């Protein structure tokens, strides 16, 4: 049996930022999850029309690709992470055991479907979930999962299935841990550079944004356009589930609410204090208000989605009577997302200017 001494398990809004934060805190450095999210340039928007999500609607990404936050935090803060992908689970497990023996908690990227300690509505095939191994006893592993209030336990068979999925883009058998924390970290520079990168990710140059119409602000606009087409593209339970899944994805799937925009507000408040910037205080207020508005749009989606029938058999009769109501409702929501795109366009341009001034 091996369990990490003095490890404090803390929940988080998001699994990657939560795992990185928990590892850094265990290594002795106090840092908040919003700070990791901000320095890691977390906010993003991808309307991945070419990838079908679990609900058969196109996948939507509202933060940078998995692993990017870790990479950005490491680069900007100077915190040295050991990060490696092994060719098979035996090798990865051997390394994890070695680290646990040395009292080092180790983060893994796994498929959330096999995390049996989580309630079953969270058992979805998402092979980019971050957890921390903090102990092992025989075939049972002790897990610190930012989405779970208590310490969880996983059988080795479940861990193996979750860690080596062969799923597209999954980082099978990969792990990371804190190797070294520098004596001094230039948080101010890290914060400013993190903000600049976020703005760059959200506002693409004119020509690029036409080609990458599914990324950043342009991605939100494309998404808004597609919302109006949903009743033409989908029907029945698929349409109902898709509408609900989109809304839940913005709120309850590790975003902290308002598609991560509220957590970004917390980061900007912290950054404003660190840099003594009144301009950033105002920017924090703006993104918090925007995040709250985003939550309201999610609530509208939920209310609308719940009006659709729960079985395919009832759908044809229902849509004959309610097509106008559905079109109007989705049209209103699409309009709000178009406004949200305009708000973010102005916001990230202003933030970019402020960050440049602070640099």
Partner 1 sequence: MIITETPEQQKHPHRFLMWDADKDGKCVSSLTESEFASDIHLYYEQRAMEVRCLLARLTDNEISPVYFFMDYQQIAVKDLASRVRVSASTVKKHLTPDGFKKVSIEILQRYARVFDIVLADFFNFTFVPDDIHVRNTRHNNRLLQKTTITANENNT
Q: Which residues sit at the interface with partner 1, rule CB under 8 A?
A: 11-13, 33-34, 52, 54-56, 113-114, 118-122, 124-125, 146-147, 149, 157-158, 161, 165-168, 237, 241, 248, 251-252, 254, 256-258, 262-263, 265-266, 269, 284-285, 288, 291-292, 299, 302, 306, 310-312
Decide: 313 and 259 in contact? Cβ < 8 Å: no
The tokens of 47 are what? 């309307």
Between 309 and 335, name the residue whose CB sits nearer to partner 1: 309
Between 200 and 292, name the residue whose CB sits nearer to partner 1: 292
Give the nearest distance from C-beta 75 to partner 1 in angstroms. 25
Could you give the CA distance from residue 291 to residue 16 in angstroms, rounded to a whole number?
Answer: 20
Between 106 and 268, name the residue whose CB sits nearer to partner 1: 268
Give the nearest distance from C-beta 165 to partner 1 in angstroms. 6
Give the nearest distance from C-beta 58 to partner 1 in angstroms. 11
Between 170 and 217, name the residue whose CB sits nearer to partner 1: 170
Between 237 and 358, name the residue whose CB sits nearer to partner 1: 237
Decide: 216 and 286 in contact? Cβ < 8 Å: no
Give the nearest distance from C-beta 212 to partner 1 in angstroms. 22
Give the nearest distance from C-beta 59 to partner 1 in angstroms. 10
Between 157 and 186, name the residue whose CB sits nearer to partner 1: 157
Angle between helices 312-358 and 236-251 (to 10 degrees): 30
Angle between helices 187-202 and 68-77 (to 10 degrees): 140
The tokens of 256 are what? 């902290």
Decide: 30 and 169 in contact? Cβ < 8 Å: no
Could you give the CA distance from residue 165 to residue 354 in angstroms, rounded to a whole number?
Answer: 43
Give the nearest distance from C-beta 103 to partner 1 in angstroms. 27
Q: How far apart are the first and last CA of the chain?
A: 49
Could you give the CA distance from residue 105 to residue 27 in angstroms, rounded to a whole number?
Answer: 9
């Amino acid at each position: 049996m091996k369990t990490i001494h003095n490890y404090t398990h803390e929940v988080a809004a998001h699994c990657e930022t939560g795992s990185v934060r928990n590892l850094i805190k265990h290594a002795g450095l106090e840092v908040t999850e919003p700070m990791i999210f901000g320095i890691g340039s977390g906010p993003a928007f991808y309307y991945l029309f070419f990838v079908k999500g679990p609900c058969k609607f196109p996948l939507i990404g509202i933060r940078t690709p998995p692993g990017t936050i870790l990479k950005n935090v490491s680069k900007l803060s100077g915190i040295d992470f050991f990060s490696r992908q092994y060719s098979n689970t035996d090798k990865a497990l051997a390394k994890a055991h070695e680290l646990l023996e040395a009292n080092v908690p180790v983060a893994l990227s796994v498929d959330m479907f096999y995390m049996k300690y989580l309630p079953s509505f969270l058992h979805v095939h998402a092979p980019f979930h971050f957890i921390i191994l903090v102990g092992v006893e025989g075939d049972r592993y002790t897990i610190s999962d930012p989405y779970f209030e208590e310490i969880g336990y996983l059988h080795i068979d479940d861990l193996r299935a979750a860690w080596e999925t062969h799923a597209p883009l999954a980082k099978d058998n990969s792990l990371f841990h804190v190797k070294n924390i520098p004596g001094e970290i230039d948080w101010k520079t890290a914060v400013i550079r993190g903000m600049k990168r976020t703005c760059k990710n959200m506002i693409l140059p004119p020509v690029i944004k036409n080609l990458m119409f599914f990324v950043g602000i342009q991605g939100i606009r494309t998404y808004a356009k597609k919302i109006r087409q949903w009743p033409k593209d989908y029907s029945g339970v698929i349409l109902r589930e898709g509408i609900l899944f989109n809304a839940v994805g913005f709120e309850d799937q590790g975003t902290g609410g308002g598609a991560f925009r509220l957590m970004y507000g917390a980061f900007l408040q912290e950054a404003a204090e660190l840099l003594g910037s009144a301009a950033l205080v105002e920017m924090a207020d703006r993104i918090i208000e925007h995040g709250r508005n985003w939550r309201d749009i999610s609530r509208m989606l939920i209310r609308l989605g719940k009006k659709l029938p729960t079985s395919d058999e009832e759908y044809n009769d229902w849509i004959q009577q309610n097509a106008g109501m559905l079109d109007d409702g989705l049209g209103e929501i699409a309009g709000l997302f178009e406004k949200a795109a305009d708000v973010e366009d102005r916001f990230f341009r202003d933030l970019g200017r402020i960050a440049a001034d602070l640099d």
